[in-house]
């Protein structure tokens, strides 16, 4: 399999990275914009996600119908997402349609931002916020971030709030777009059967004239302290419990050992939390995850259960996590090996798809400015030792922690 990595930077600062694979049958491309909720100010909370919607509403060259029709014409698997840190637009296509996909995505990233479209789409965003507010899991998730991060923008809601979206004006969105959607704040990532020289020429044709703004990101550290928030809703019939605490960031090499730790403690099947809470029927679900973000990271635990078992489930959840760390440090070698094998399988399955490799490559470059092959990633994961996992537990002892509860009483 002839796999090669390529990197080229346009004069305006836009980075182009690709992993070409002559044996692939498709190609995937993504425009990774380094902007999200953490890059917003309070008055425009939710603007990054709102902008993602507006990218599909048309450009100077294309109407909204044209955008969707042309993606369908080339048989693209396409979409976009917004997080606290990134907004990504992507398409997975047959190799012969990659130039059209690049032109489409690049044109979308210079949207018309018409006021009529803005006013209409605002109603869609408000409906989406209302839909998520009706989901207890999302209410807990949003409240957990707000409580844990406090006034730090990582605590902002990605969708924004009803008040922030209602108050948002189209000129505020245009100003945010002009600053953040700068070529020196964008990475174009691709993987699969790709002619890299042709790919660079296609990207330059659509994006080479974009003017850089020198967009930056603030890296103020969030304040860490123990916090608790409890909410009630008489309409609910389940209890929801969530916990967040510090963990390794996206640039931290300890993230590999942390992944192993998270899998053995909180995978949705076969983990310690599964056997302690889900298998005996004490909880509907229980999980432990990690968020390796830009220069900061966190661990996240979650459970839902019958309200009458709330105290018992919360105690078992926290005790299970605490028992793994110092001074006990009761992590066993066979647990680590099982976790590593599972994670390596998951990484390989994702890496066999050009779309999976395109995403991995885009995140690698945005967060660390580096390239690692799938083999290097798996080898690094498989090199994790018990001492590495215990070191993570020592460095990140699941404290300070924020706990959020939501139930009927």
Q: Is 408's pLDDT higher than 70?
A: yes
**Could you say which of 19, 40, 52, 314 is catalytic?**
52
User: What integer is the mean pLDDT of 8-35?
Assistant: 98
Q: What is the pLDDT of residues 296-339, one digit of tens each?
A: 999 999 999 999 999 999 999 999 999 998 876 789 999 999 99
User: What integer is the mean pLDDT of 63-89?
Assistant: 98
| Beta strands 285-293 and 296-305, pairing class | antiparallel
The predicted pLDDT at position 243 comes to 98
Q: Is 122's pLDDT higher than 60?
A: yes
User: What integer is the mean pLDDT of 349-356?
Assistant: 96
Task: Tell me whether domains 3-207 and 227-407 share a fold.
Answer: yes
Q: Is 1's pLDDT higher than 60?
A: no
Torsion 45-49-53-56 (CA) sign: positive
Correct CATH for 227-407 of 3.30.830.10, 3.40.50.300, 3.40.109.10, 3.30.70.3270: 3.30.830.10
Residue spans per domain, the chain: 3-207, 227-407
Give the CA count within 13 Å in the CB-facing half-sphere of 309. Answer: 16
328 labelled catalytic: no
How many residues belong to the chain?
409
Q: Could you tell me which residue, 54 or 225, shows the higher pLDDT?
A: 54
Q: Is 199's pLDDT higher than 70?
A: yes
Q: What is the pLDDT of residues 13-26, one digit of tens each?
A: 999 999 999 999 99
Residue whose structure tokens are 């996909």: 101
The predicted pLDDT at position 325 comes to 84
Q: What rounded mean pLDDT belongs to the chain?
A: 96
What is the CATH number assigned to the segment(s) 3-207?
3.30.830.10
């Amino acid at each position: 399999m002839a796999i090669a990595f390529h990197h080229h930077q346009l004069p305006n600062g836009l980075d182009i990275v690709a992993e070409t694979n002559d044996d692939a049958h498709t190609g995937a491309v993504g425009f990774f914009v380094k902007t999200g909720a953490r890059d917003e100010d309070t008055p425009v909370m939710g603007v990054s996600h709102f902008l993602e919607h507006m990218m599909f509403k048309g450009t100077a060259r294309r109407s909204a119908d044209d955008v969707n029709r042309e993606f369908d014409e080339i048989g693209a698997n396409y979409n976009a997402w917004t997080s606290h840190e990134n907004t990504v637009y992507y398409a997975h296509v047959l190799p012969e349609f990659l130039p059209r996909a690049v032109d489409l995505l690049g044109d979308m990233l210079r949207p018309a931002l018409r006021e009529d479209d803005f006013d209409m789409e605002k109603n869609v965003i408000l409906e989406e916020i209302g839909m998520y507010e009706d989901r207890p899991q999302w209410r807990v998730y949003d409240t957990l971030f707000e409580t844990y991060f406090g006034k730090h923008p990582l605590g902002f809601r990605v969708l924004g709030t009803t008040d922030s979206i209602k108050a948002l004006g189209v000129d505020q969105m245009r100003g945010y777009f002009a600053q953040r959607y700068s070529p020196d704040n964008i990475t174009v990532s691709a993987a699969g059967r790709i002619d890299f020289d042709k790919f660079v020429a296609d990207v330059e044709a659509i994006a080479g004239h974009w003017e850089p703004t020198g967009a930056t990101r603030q890296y103020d550290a969030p304040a860490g302290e123990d916090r608790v928030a409890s909410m009630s809703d008489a309409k609910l019939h389940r209890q929801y419990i969530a916990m967040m605490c510090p963990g390794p960031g996206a640039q931290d090499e300890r993230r590999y050992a942390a992944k192993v730790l998270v899998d053995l403690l909180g995978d949705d099947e076969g983990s310690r939390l599964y056997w302690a809470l889900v298998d005996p029927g004490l909880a509907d679900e229980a999980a432990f995850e990690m968020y390796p973000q830009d220069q900061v990271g966190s661990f996240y635990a979650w459970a839902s259960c019958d309200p009458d078992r709330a105290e018992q489930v919360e105690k078992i959840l926290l005790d299970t996590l605490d028992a793994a760390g110092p001074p006990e440090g009761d992590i066993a070698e066979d647990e680590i090996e099982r976790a590593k094998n599972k994670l390596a399988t998951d990484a390989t399955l994702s890496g066999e798809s050009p779309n999976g490799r395109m995403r991995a490559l885009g995140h690698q470059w945005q967060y660390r400015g580096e390239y690692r092959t799938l083999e290097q990633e798996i080898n690094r994961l498989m090199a994790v030792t018990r001492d590495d996992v215990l070191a993570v537990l020592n460095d990140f002892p699941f404290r300070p922690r924020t706990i959020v509860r939501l139930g009927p009483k």
